[in-house]
Amino acid sequence: MDTEDHKALREAVAALGNRHGRPHDTAQLWSEAGKLGYLGVNLPEEHGGGGGGISELSIVLEELGAAGCPLLMLIVSPAICGTVIARFGTDAQKQHWLPALADGSRLMAFGITEPDAGSNSHRITTTARKDGNDWILTGRKVFISGVDLADATLIVGRTEDARTGRLKPCLFIVPRDAPGFTRRPIDMELAAAEKQFELTLDDVRLPADALVGDEDAGLLQLFAGLNPERIMTAAFAIGMGRYALAKAVEYARDRQVWNTPIGAHQAIAHPLAQAHIDLELARLMMQKAAALYDAGDDMGAGEAANMAKYAAGEACVKAVDQAVHTLGGNGLTREFGLASLITASRVARIAPVSREMILNYVSHQTLGLPKSY
């Protein structure tokens, strides 16, 4: 359940979202949200943030989504990158990045996905090797959001363990103008303000202080960012589902074909009620995941964050589908603005990890069933 502070935050962010609505100017909304302190609610107060956690940031994204103006980069810049730097960055990295991420004056993208690795992060081939005090990064990334807007990208590479010879994940801050760091836009059917890119790192030379955290920490640091990513993706999906559902409910109340509004008919009313129930259930799991993460329970948060992302993705797709169906032909028009959500809602089933990989996680980690891979 929301605390009084959380209720106040919801109301304030909803008011901001409703002022902008759909369609909206993403850059203008980002700037205003930063000035009001919403972008950095999860970041430490001593570095310009609100001193809250992912619980608060997920409220911001959900309410903006419910108003029809979600900010995808909230998932990436303050939630993933800001969290990782706040937990593992050097003092210099925190001072340089966190205040700017909090007020929105700087953006950071996140690069983990690769063309040949898919959902298997252990197959990441972007490598980092030492050259004196510098690091040299080589590799490719794909489906990286907002790189054209970002001042830097937090890249997941792999370094060789001197003792075992095995590659282990490490995180590097790569400035957008670093020599050898190039981007190519991916032509997407998805209609979104934030573009997707393929990245190439061709012997990108970075100073020693580009490394975030300990090069021996490995997966601990990586999942410090991935759990918030899943929680925030759930918030994104729940917000979108709420927006679509609200449009459908409004239409069903007013639209009259025979003697009563169509919302009086159970064939219309029951699926909308079901969609509402599914969204509320997904929100409860999201709140549980955020509370566990904010309390420092990374293991418990991992399970809950995956389940929240799964539940929210399913609920969002069903809510959007039912909303479009409720409007009939009008649901496919630009005037009502729901048709584009059909494609957008699928994202929460696919990214940042597929629903099937979440089912694998739960079957292996929670139920103790054997792996097939």
CA-wise closest residue to 263 among 342, 273, 243: 273
Domain ranges of the chain: 4-106, 110-212, 219-366
Of the options 3.40.50.1220, 3.90.120.10, 3.90.230.10, 1.10.540.10, the CATH number for the domain spanning 4-106: 1.10.540.10
CB 150 within 8 A of CB 108: yes
CA-wise closest residue to 294 among 51, 71, 85, 107: 51
pLDDT at position 163 is 60
- How would you write the pLDDT of the chain (373 residues) with one tens digit per residue? 789 999 999 999 999 999 999 888 999 999 999 999 999 999 999 999 999 999 999 999 999 999 999 999 999 999 999 999 999 999 999 999 999 999 999 999 999 999 987 667 777 899 999 999 999 999 999 999 999 999 999 999 998 765 665 678 899 999 999 999 999 999 998 878 889 999 999 999 999 999 999 877 667 787 788 999 999 999 999 999 999 999 999 999 999 998 999 999 999 999 999 999 999 999 999 999 999 999 999 999 999 999 999 999 999 999 999 999 999 999 999 999 999 999 999 999 999 999 999 999 999 999 999 998 8
Q: At what angle do helices 54-66 and 4-20 cross, to 10 degrees?
A: 40
Interatomic CA distance for residues 170 and 222, integer angstroms: 8
pLDDT at position 308 is 98
Q: What is the CATH number of domain 219-366?
A: 1.20.140.10
CB 355 within 8 A of CB 349: yes
pLDDT at position 3 is 93
pLDDT at position 193 is 83
Interatomic CA distance for residues 146 and 144, integer angstroms: 7
Domain 110-212 has CATH 2.40.110.10: yes
pLDDT at position 302 is 94
335-360 b/e (C-beta count within 10 Å ≥ 16 → b): ebbbbebbebbebbbebbbebeebeb
CB 69 within 8 A of CB 29: yes
* pTM of the full structure: 0.95
In the three-class reduction of DSSP (H, G, I as helix; E, B as strand; rest coil), residue 82 is classed as helix
